[in-house]
Chain A
Amino acid sequence: MNYYIKYIEYYLPEKIIDNKYLHEKAGIETDFLENKIGINQRHIAGENESTSDMAVKAASMLIENSRIDRESIDLMILCTQNPDYKLPTTACIVQYKLKLKNSCIAFDINLGCSGFIYSLAVAGNFLKSGMAKKAILIMADQYSRIINYTDKNTAALFGDAASAILVESCEEPWGVVDASFGTDGSGYDKLIAFNSGVSRNHDKNDFIYMDGRGIFKFSMQTIPASVNEILKKNNLQVSEIKYFIFHQANKYMLTEIQQRLGISDNQMVLDFKDYGNTVSSTIPIAYKNLLRSGNLQKNDLIIFCGFGVGLSWGTILYRYNN
Chain B
Amino acid sequence: MGWDYPGAQYYTDIIIDLMEQTENFKLLAEIVKSINPKAKIEENTALIGESILDSLEFMNYITKVEESFCINISDDDISSKNLGIISNMISFINSKVQAR
Contact = CB atoms under 8 A, between A and B. Distances in A.
Are A and B interaction partners? yes
B76 to A, nearest CB: 12
B59 A216 contact: yes
Interface string B57-71: 001101100110000
Contacts of B75: 213
A37 B56 CA distance: 9
Interface residues of A, number: 11
A220 B63 contact: yes
Contact of B62 (A36, A37, A213): A213
B67 A221 contact: yes
Contacts of A212: 59
A36 B55 CA distance: 10
Contacts, number: 22
A221 B62 CA distance: 13
A86 interface: no
A187 to B, nearest CB: 14
B63 A216 contact: yes
Interface in A178-226: 212-213, 216-217, 220-221
A71 B57 CA distance: 52
Given A252-B56, A256-B60, 8 more contacts: A36-B54, A36-B56, A213-B62, A216-B63, A220-B60, A220-B67, A221-B67, A252-B60
Q: Report the 3 A-B pairs with minimum CB-CB distance, sorted nearest first.
A: A252-B56, A213-B59, A217-B63
